[in-house]
């Protein structure tokens, strides 16, 4: 994929029409390009056979599709697949395909899962530095272009099986919100994927500016990474708490369509999206009944649900996992006190694809060494010539 050319992937219909007009082509050529890209999912301009050869040559001089297949993949024993993509700028990101066949007795090799979720990345690395997350430990490397985000879906071998998209891979989506919103616009637009926004969930630690803008400009579901109900405890694990506390996040959410309604005025049609709080349980740190009560108090004004997540050990960490009995008691207590709570099934742990385990640090370091060696070889060749 050439970084010197502009990508057609992730352009809106209006923008594709403008591309055609800028090249002196009729407006309808923009609509044809849109159909070829989002309808027929072509990988090269040459495949757009109802556009004249001259027009295609003019297009190819400045543009390419921007699609790039995965460079590697790992398959879990539970059917989860982790794909490695190389971005336009030469960085690496991981994307996780999670099929659900509805029964543990159903072999995962089936062609048609009941539900198939794709966990996409929005950045290379992450600035949030959450202590329990491998991506946070990798540090921030680069923003992804909208074409890089959309390519994770566009070039996925299982793309036609997908039922849901979650922005829960590498990176903080609200820290790259322009690209994320452009991607969700393409996914939900009638001229492109035409997905319901309720099939898309964006996860965030809760950055103030991004949170408000997302709530105002998008109808997609929202998931907030909470992980501790007490600000001081959360700040010890998640530096973002110090800039914008979880209480501030809740105060913002109270202004939107997440407040509980009484049985008399409850209108299902008024609920535009689902609000979920993600909560990793750590043994002895945030898994007591006192913590559960603090959660209930914090979230009481909101119509939401809680998704409990098992902690997956990472190297050099002070955290430990919660025992299964404690996890179950914590879940039952919250359900008994009025907040719908579920325990997320751990998937892909054997290939480091589970929650908090995504990292491309090794690939980034290898690429840097490769580029450095190339520069050294070039310098040495020039020295010998002189």
CB 239 within 8 A of CB 140: no
What is the phi/psi pair of residue 87, to 5°? -85, 175
CB 50 within 8 A of CB 56: no
Identify whether 133 is a catalytic site residue: no
Q: Which of 133, 220, 355, 364 is catalytic?
A: 355
Sequence-separated (6 or more) residues with CB below 8 Å from residue 169: 93, 94, 95, 96, 119, 120, 121, 122, 358
Q: Report angle CA 349, 308, 263 to the nearest 5 degrees.
A: 145
Interatomic CA distance for residues 41 and 59, integer angstroms = 17
Q: 165: part of which helix (H) or strand (E)?
A: strand 164-167
Identify whether 73 is a catalytic site residue: no
Beta bridge partners of 94: 84
Q: Which of 94, 172, 278, 364 is catalytic?
A: 94
For 148, 170, 217, the CA distances from 276, given in Å and listed in that order, are: 26, 19, 18
Please identify which residue in the block is written with the tokens 């495949």: 47
3-state secondary structure 123-150: EEECCCCCCCCHHHHHCEEEECCHHHHH
Q: Report angle CA 223, 224, 226 to the nearest 5 degrees.
A: 140
Hey, which residues are catalytic here?
94, 355
């Amino acid at each position: 994929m050439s970084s010197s050319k502009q990508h057609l992937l992730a352009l809106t219909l209006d923008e594709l029409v403008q591309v055609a007009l800028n090249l002196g082509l009729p407006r309808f050529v923009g609509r044809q390009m849109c159909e070829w890209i989002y309808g027929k999912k072509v990988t090269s301009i040459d495949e757009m056979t109802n556009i004249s050869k001259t027009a295609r040559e003019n297009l190819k001089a400045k543009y390419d599709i921007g699609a790039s297949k995965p460079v590697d993949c790992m398959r879990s024993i539970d059917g989860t697949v982790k794909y490695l993509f190389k971005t336009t700028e030469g960085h690496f990101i991981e994307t996780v395909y999670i099929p659900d066949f509805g029964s543990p007795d159903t072999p995962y090799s089936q062609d048609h899962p009941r539900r198939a979720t794709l966990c996409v990345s929005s950045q290379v690395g992450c600035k949030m530095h959450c202590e329990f997350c491998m991506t946070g430990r990798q540090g921030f490397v680069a923003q992804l272009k909208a074409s890089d985000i959309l390519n994770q879906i566009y070039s996925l071998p299982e793309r036609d099986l997908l039922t849901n998209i979650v922005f829960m891979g590498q990176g903080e989506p609200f820290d790259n919100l322009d690209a994320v919103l452009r991607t969700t616009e393409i996914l939900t637009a009638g001229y492109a994927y035409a997905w319901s926004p309720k099939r898309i969930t964006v996860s965030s630690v809760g950055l103030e500016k991004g949170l408000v803008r997302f709530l105002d400009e998008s109808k997609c579901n929202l998931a907030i990474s909470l992980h501790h109900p007490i600000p001081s405890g959360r700040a010890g694990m998640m530096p973002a708490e110090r800039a914008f506390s979880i209480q501030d996040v809740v105060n913002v959410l109270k202004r939107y369509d997440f407040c509980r309604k009484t049985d008399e005025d409850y209108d299902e049609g008024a609920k535009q999206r689902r609000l979920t709080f993600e909560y990793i349980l750590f043994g002895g740190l945030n898994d007591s009944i006192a913590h559960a009560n603090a959660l209930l108090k914090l979230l009481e004004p909101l119509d939401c649900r809680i998704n409990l997540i098992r902690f997956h050990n990472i190297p050099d960490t002070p955290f430990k996992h919660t025992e299964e009995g404690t996890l179950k008691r914590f879940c039952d207590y919250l359900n008994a006190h009025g907040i719908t709570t579920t325990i997320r099934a751990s998937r892909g742990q054997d290939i480091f694809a589970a929650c908090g385990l995504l990292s491309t640090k090794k690939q980034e370091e290898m690429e840097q060494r490769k580029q450095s060696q190339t520069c050294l070889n070039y310098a040495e060749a020039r020295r010998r010539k002189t």
